[in-house]
């Protein structure tokens, strides 16, 4: 096995979904790649990816193009191809149970109703991968799919832009330092 990291952003492909709440994982990885002077434009295993280096470690930045509910297929292929240890997989995704502006980094856990995470857990056969969860709100709504597939409201976009920046820093912190330091630095709960 290698010490390569696989950083996966979850979302749905296509311009129709680019700025929806479900696509904050893609937005975060776009920003991460931009900061590293990389472009996520290589294609393999139904995913768009690029290879980069963070803290002199190889990092594969991946956006599955299978639509959210099948994200695990692409991620499982990349894990096997690059021989990546499960503890070196970082998944960045939206979370309806967190208010916009909240960020939660976890070592493992269940899917919490997130279909992308359900797919990954099923295909990898474990819940023990890191995740960076970005709050998009809407957990109490009767139609969560309408909420996550909707575009950000104007007042949300500034908050989300800031939290995307912070999520990039969190991913860097995990790779530069470790998960515990990233959790201590970036896990937060906003009152508003």
Identify whether 22 is a catalytic site residue.
yes
Closest to 100 (Cα-Cα) out of 136, 63, 47, 61:
136
CA 31 to chain centre: 12
CA 145 to chain centre: 18
On the CB side of 72, how many CA atoms lie within 13 Å of its CA? 17
CA 11 to chain centre: 8
Report how far residue 62's alpha carbon sits from residue 6's, in angstroms, rounded to the nearest whole number. Answer: 7
* Per annotation, catalytic residue among 22, 77, 114, 147: 22
User: Helix 154-176 crosses helix 179-186 at what angle (to 10 degrees)?
Assistant: 150
Task: Tell which phi-psi region holds residue 77, choosing left (phi > 0), alpha (psi between -120 and 50) or beta.
Answer: alpha
The set of catalytic residues is 22
């Amino acid at each position: 096995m290698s010490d390569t990291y696989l950083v996966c952003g979850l979302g749905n492909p296509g311009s129709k979904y680019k700025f929806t709440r479900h696509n904050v994982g893609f937005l975060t990885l776009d920003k991460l790649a931009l900061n590293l002077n990389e472009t996520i434009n290589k294609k393999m295993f139904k995913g768009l990816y690029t290879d980069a280096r963070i803290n002199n470690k190889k990092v594969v930045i991946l956006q599955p193009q299978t639509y959210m509910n099948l994200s695990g297929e692409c991620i499982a292929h990349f894990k096997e191809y690059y021989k990546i240890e499960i503890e070196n997989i970082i998944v960045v995704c939206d979370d309806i149970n967190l208010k916009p502006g909240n960020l939660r980094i976890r070592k493992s856990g269940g899917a919490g109703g997130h279909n992308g995470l359900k797919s990954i857990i099923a295909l990898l056969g474990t819940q023990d991968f890191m995740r960076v969860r970005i709050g998009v709100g809407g957990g109490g709504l009767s139609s969560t799919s309408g909420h996550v597939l909707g575009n950000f409201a104007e007042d949300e976009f500034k908050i989300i832009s800031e939290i995307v920046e912070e999520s990039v820093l969190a991913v860097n912190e995990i790779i530069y330092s470790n998960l515990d330091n990233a959790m201590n630095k970036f896990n937060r709960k906003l009152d508003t």
